[in-house]
């Protein structure tokens, strides 16, 4: 098929698609690359706008531009082309440089086809639902641009207005994309999944949110209340059975042992290596937890886990290290018991559970020693909670800064306003000062049940810190001093506690907004579970559902190749058989006229020319004779005349649309 030479509209479409495809890359491109691409785009767009043809830059200049890009890459990333960032920088800039050597439809087709690649590369940086939608939209736009660029040069193409070309191209592109969707689904389901990421991508590729928020391995005053301002989802949980009450939903992340007077950290010395020992009571809670992509090398579990995914081995403080090289969405099944006894039979508690700086915080130490002198350890815990409950402590998101050298004293006796990290930290300090082994646990507490899909969504704002004390014969007991100050935090969750001071999205005002939030959360949950969470394991499961057991990825790849090859061959054969120029708009218009006349009882004889039928119709409908003659004369002039202008066809279409003839009388 002969292709029409693209006009200015087509070129501009191409440029627009290219800019839109490259736009999200702007955030990770260095500014010289951005400047180059922007400059080329402007220069090229101006050229097309002025002359209607793409301007061409001489070869040496293009070469110089490529060298420039490589040099920038090396300066910024210390690599020429290898790696994600330099590779993408090269791809984006080469796409724009390609503009400068476009001569005809062939180059344009190539550029547009490559733009699909440019869009797909966006997944290297972001795999959220939004990005998926954007990539799909860009796929449609690029297809439209291709359809415009490759429209056939029929003898009548000059009769189509630009708007009509775009409309037609939109239709055919939508059709193409719709046809591609089943193919996409098949490839998604059957394309071999590898457990190792391709091209050594780093973890950013599998992030679904735009910023890195999450628990840190150091707890200092303010580190968790900062998280509370984030509405981002930390993880989602689907329970097999009923959802336990909120006050039992303690999601264990890290255990912090070492206190330096201000910050709590992981133990500086290795913990004694005894296996974790626990006794479980009550009904088991089994659940599937899907975490938003994270770089945190440990799993979150409901306190206290008994069964963990294969390969996960809990340390004896039930922190579950997990090193996932792919950094995909970790998704795992686990079984926990909310009633348990841990390390009850331990003879010697690790020394780290009593560690504290020798100097500082004298008032807190004195208070704790006072308790220790009068009470046994279990009573010391009660006394301490009583202290928090009795004294005017305030649970607040915006506590005053602790500036003195003795932050624990300052908090306990002066400011008395704090968030969970203040309470947990101060409590553990008091316990250790009183000689009761204690540690800080970092994790999440509570969560929000989605009314639509019955899953639990735990957000960064649910981040929490609590304490564990070790009591003779009882083992580690969870103590949440925050609960002593603000019981509603533990019973109803963070959202209810801070209804006034939280960001708008968490407040849940208005029924509609809340419903929408639930639905949206459910959609994201499904996306994470079914799209991003479709890993080799799930693929194998899916294949065995279909009855193919033990298919390895090589076999899958071979089957896919053969299947797609056959499909393509058949489709190509079918398409090539009925290939032809698309219909002339004037032929369509004449068909419409013929129908109009036939409905009025005056069918056109096949051999009847336009003026002949016009005369016949004018004779039958004398009061319409003038209009009929005009229309048919216009039609004949446009169809057979030398200069059928676009506006003429549009005007004729409009006249035919308004043209009516009286219907023949029945039985007449």
Footprint on this chain of other proteins (rule: CB under 8 A): 155-156, 584, 586-587, 606-612, 636-637, 639-642
Nearer to other proteins, 422 or 639 (CB): 639
Contacts 24+ apart (CB under 8 A), 31-34: 32/68, 32/72, 33/69, 33/72, 33/89, 33/92, 33/93
Nearer to other proteins, 11 or 156 (CB): 156
DSSP H or E stretch at residue 237: strand 233-239
Nearer to other proteins, 531 or 612 (CB): 612
Question: Would you state the torsion angle of the CA atoms of residues 193, 195, 201, 206, taken in this order, to the nearest 10 degrees?
Answer: 80
**Which one is catalytic: 480, 521, 584, 634?**
480
| Rounded Cα gap, residues 302 and 299, in angstroms | 10
Contact between 371 and 272 (Cβ < 8 Å): no
Nearer to other proteins, 608 or 630 (CB): 608
Tokens 């495809």 belong to 21
Nearer to other proteins, 156 or 298 (CB): 156
Nearer to other proteins, 540 or 590 (CB): 590
Which of the 8 DSSP states describes residue 58?
-
DSSP H or E stretch at residue 445: strand 438-445
Angstrom distances, CA of residue 553 to CA of 192, 465, 532, 550: 5, 44, 19, 10
State in angstroms the smallest separation of the CB of 171 from other proteins: 24
Nearer to other proteins, 562 or 611 (CB): 611
Contact between 368 and 461 (Cβ < 8 Å): no
State in angstroms the smallest separation of the CB of 105 from other proteins: 21
Taking each helix axis from N to C terminus, what angle separates 31-51 and 84-99, rounded to the nearest 10 degrees?
A: 20
Angstrom distances, CA of residue 187 to CA of 152, 386, 649: 31, 62, 44
476 forms bridges with which residues in the sheet? 342, 470
Nearer to other proteins, 58 or 587 (CB): 587
State in angstroms the smallest separation of the CB of 201 from other proteins: 55
Angstrom distances, CA of residue 636 to CA of 133, 335, 627, 648: 47, 80, 14, 12
State in angstroms the smallest separation of the CB of 73 from other proteins: 53
- CA proximity to 176, closest of 631, 624, 575: 575
Taking each helix axis from N to C terminus, what angle separates 646-658 and 585-599, rounded to the nearest 10 degrees?
A: 20
Tokens 């939030």 belong to 517
Is residue 480 part of the annotated active site? The answer reads yes
State in angstroms the smallest separation of the CB of 640 from other proteins: 4
Q: C-alpha 88: how far from its chain's center?
A: 19
Nearer to other proteins, 390 or 579 (CB): 579
Q: C-alpha 242: how far from its chain's center?
A: 29
| Rounded Cα gap, residues 530 and 427, in angstroms | 43
**Which one is catalytic: 327, 406, 409, 420?**
420
Nearer to other proteins, 323 or 607 (CB): 607
State in angstroms the smallest separation of the CB of 160 from other proteins: 15
Contact between 79 and 73 (Cβ < 8 Å): yes
Contact between 611 and 637 (Cβ < 8 Å): no
State in angstroms the smallest separation of the CB of 155 from other proteins: 4
Is residue 25 part of the annotated active site? The answer reads no
Contact between 257 and 355 (Cβ < 8 Å): yes
Is residue 422 part of the annotated active site? The answer reads no
Nearer to other proteins, 522 or 617 (CB): 617
| Rounded Cα gap, residues 40 and 34, in angstroms | 10
- In the chain, what is the straight-line distance between the N-terminal and C-terminal CA atoms, in Å? 51
Nearer to other proteins, 456 or 638 (CB): 638
Per-residue tokens: 648: 């003429």
Burial of 158 (0-12, 13-18, 19+ CB in 10 A): middle
**Which one is catalytic: 85, 317, 464, 584?**
464
- CA atoms 619, 624, 625, 629: torsion sign: negative
Angstrom distances, CA of residue 184 to CA of 173, 178, 304, 442, 530: 16, 10, 42, 42, 15
State in angstroms the smallest separation of the CB of 619 from other proteins: 16
CA atoms within 13 A on the CB side of 207: 16
Residues carrying an active site annotation: 420, 464, 480
């Amino acid at each position: 098929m002969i292709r029409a030479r693209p006009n200015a509209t087509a070129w501009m479409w191409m440029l627009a698609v290219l800019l839109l495809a490259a736009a999200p890359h702007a955030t990770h491109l260095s500014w010289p690359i951005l400047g180059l691409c922007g400059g080329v785009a402007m220069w090229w767009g101006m050229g097309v706008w002025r002359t209607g043809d793409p301007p061409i830059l001489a070869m040496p200049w293009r070469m110089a531009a490529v060298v420039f890009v490589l040099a920038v890459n090396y300066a910024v990333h210390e690599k020429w082309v290898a790696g994600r960032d330099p590779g993408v920088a090269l791809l984006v800039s080469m796409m724009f440089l390609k503009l400068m050597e476009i001569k005809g439809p062939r180059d344009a087709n190539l550029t547009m086809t490559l733009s699909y690649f440019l869009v797909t590369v966006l997944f290297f940086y972001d795999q959220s639902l939004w990005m998926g939608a954007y990539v799909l939209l860009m796929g449609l736009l690029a297809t439209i641009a291709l359809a415009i660029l490759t429209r056939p040069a029929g003898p009548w193409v000059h009769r189509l207005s630009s708007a009509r070309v775009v409309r037609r191209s939109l239709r055919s592109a939508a059709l193409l994309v719709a046809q591609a969707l089943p193919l996409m689904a098949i490839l998604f389901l059957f394309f071999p999944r590898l457990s190792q990421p391709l091209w050594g991508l780093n973890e950013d590729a599998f992030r679904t949110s735009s910023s890195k928020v999450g628990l840190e391995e150091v707890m200092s005053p303010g580190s968790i209340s900062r998280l509370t301002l984030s509405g981002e989802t930390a993880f989602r949980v689907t329970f097999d059975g009923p959802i336990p009450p909120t006050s039992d939903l303690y999601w264990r992340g890290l255990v912090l042992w070492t206190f330096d007077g201000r910050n709590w950290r992981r133990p500086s010395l290795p913990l004694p290596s005894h296996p974790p020992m626990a006794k479980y009571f009550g009904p088991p809670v089994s659940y599937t937890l899907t975490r938003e992509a994270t770089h945190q090398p440990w799993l979150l579990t409901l306190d206290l886990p008994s069964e963990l995914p294969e390969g996960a081995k809990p340390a004896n403080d039930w922190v579950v290290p997990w090193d996932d090289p792919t950094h995909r969405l970790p998704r795992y099944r686990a079984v926990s018991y909310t009633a348990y006894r841990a390390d009850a039979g331990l003879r010697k508690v690790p020394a780290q559970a009593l560690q504290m700086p020798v100097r500082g915080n004298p008032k807190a130490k004195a208070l704790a020693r006072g308790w220790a002198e009068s009470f046994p350890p279990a009573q010391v815990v009660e006394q301490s909670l009583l202290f928090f409950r009795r004294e005017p402590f305030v649970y607040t998101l915006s506590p005053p800064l602790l500036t003195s050298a003795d932050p624990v004293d300052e908090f306990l006796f002066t400011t008395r306003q704090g968030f969970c990290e203040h309470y947990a930290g101060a409590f553990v300090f008091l316990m250790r000062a009183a000689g009761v082994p204690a540690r800080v646990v970092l994790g999440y507490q509570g969560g929000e049940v989605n009314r639509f899909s019955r899953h639990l969504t735990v957000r960064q704002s649910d981040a929490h810190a609590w304490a564990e004390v070790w009591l003779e014969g009882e083992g580690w007991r969870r103590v949440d001093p925050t609960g002593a100050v603000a019981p509603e935090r533990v019973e109803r969750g963070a959202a209810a506690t801070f209804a006034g001071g939280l960001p708008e999205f968490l407040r849940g005002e208005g029924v509609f907004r809340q419903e929408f939030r639930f639905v949206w959360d459910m959609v994201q949950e499904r996306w994470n579970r079914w799209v991003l969470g479709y890993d080799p394991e799930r693929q194998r499961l899916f294949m065995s559902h279909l009855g193919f057991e033990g298919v390895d990825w090589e076999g899958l790849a071979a089957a896919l190749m053969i299947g797609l090859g056959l499909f393509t061959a058949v489709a190509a054969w079918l398409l090539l058989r009925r290939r032809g120029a698309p219909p002339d708009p004037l032929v369509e218009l004449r068909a419409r006229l013929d129908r109009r006349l036939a409905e009025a009882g005056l069918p056109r004889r096949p051999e009847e020319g336009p003026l002949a039928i016009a005369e016949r119709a004018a004779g039958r409908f004398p009061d319409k004779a003038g209009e009929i003659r005009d229309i048919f004369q216009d039609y004949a002039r446009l169809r057979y005349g030398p200069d059928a202008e676009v506006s003429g066809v549009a005007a004729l279409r409009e006249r035919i649309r308004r043209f009516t003839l009286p219907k023949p009388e029945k039985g007449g």
